[in-house]
Amino acid sequence: MGPLNGYTVIELAGIGPAPMGGMVLADMGAEVIRIDRASGGSPLMMKDVSARGKKSVVLNLKDPGGIETLLRMVENADVLIDPYRPGVCEKLGIGPEACLARNPKLVFARMTGWGQDGPLAHAAGHDINYISITGALFAMGRKDDKPVPPLNLVGDMGGGGMLLVNGVLAALLEAANSGKGQVVDAAMVDGAAQLMWMFHGLQAAGVWDAGQRGSNLLDGAAHFYDTYECADGEYISIGSIEPQFYALLKELAGLSEEDFGNQNAPAQWPRMKEQLTAVFKQKTQAQWCEIMEGTDVCFAPVLNFMDAPQHPANVARDTYIEVDGVTQPAPAPRFSRTPSKVAHGAHDAGQDTVDVLKAMGFGEEELTGLRQSGAIS
């Protein structure tokens, strides 16, 4: 059983960071009950990786019976995840005030892009927008070229889903001591800003230029911290920052002291990068792996995410698993005494409605009435 065994989480169905947060909590052993829509939505697909381990209950939240059913479920829950824009739950009658009145110990976790207040709180947006106003997007890309979106990893996932889980766990710990729940305002713009903490420090120390992308130690400017094409068109990554690691890079790549001796001379980085580009094109990715992988060069082959599960290090650690025929990341982090696991694959929408509600005290007659009124399905 995972470390969150015994906790119940109600997740209002959404997209991106909120489902990711619910997935992580389910992996850790929480009973996560996803509230799917009674109409307008398609059944959860097997390929929806974030639905793994979750139960599905279909409620009509536009029906008074559906609202009351959710509030009764809240009485039996520890956490509710709200993925909507600010004010939506309040309009439905399931906002923090209504839910905490039913369960004063509830953690009401709200996941948005811009946060619950501020001038942009009610505006639409996506990952690319949230990270734009934190400086994260500006910093990514090559010199004299436009910023490059880093997939939706920084805002949605790192600054969103992970931040949500962090907030939920902290609020659960506090509730265990105080007996009181609270609202967690997890905003992707806040999370993305937190992820930039180190660069604010580097800028303050005078060793980073925030106004110039592709000109700094960790943004691809340095010849010893970048990706390189190999003879077969595949790529490798080098991160030889420390002097001893850089010395090993020079040794294993056959780099002369005359050409590559002055590691920390930014004015020389373009020349050294051009020379190193030619060196790495002399061998295939596999050949460079044979020479450098597992050494202190700080080296790895650059793999696409379909090839990643076959890498020996990932195989050895079972970093990936297969659920319902879909290869996907295994639960993380790893616990020595209460290991996480994926209980099952995605359930169809409404597959667990009757069982979940019965377990929460709803009788057969009540369920029949709710079904007839269209509150559940």
The residues annotated with a catalytic role in the active site are: 126, 156
CA distance 52 to 35: 14
Which single residue is written with the structure tokens 């082959």? 301
Type of residue at 342: V
With H, G, I as helix, E, B as strand and everything else as coil, classify residue 213.
coil
> Strand 235-239 and strand 225-229: pairing?
antiparallel
170 half-sphere exposure, CB direction, 13 A CA radius: 11
Provide the angle, in degrees to the nearest 10, between the axes of the packed helices 364-373 and 64-74: 140
Contact 156, 18 (CB under 8 A): no
Peptide bond into 3 cis (omega under 30): no
Beta strands in 163-269 (DSSP E): 182-187, 225-229, 235-239
CB atoms within 10 A of CB 93: 15
> Strand 107-112 and strand 79-82: pairing?
parallel
Looking at residue 68, what DSSP letter applies?
Answer: H
CA distance 128 to 131: 6
Which single residue is written with the structure tokens 């880093």? 150
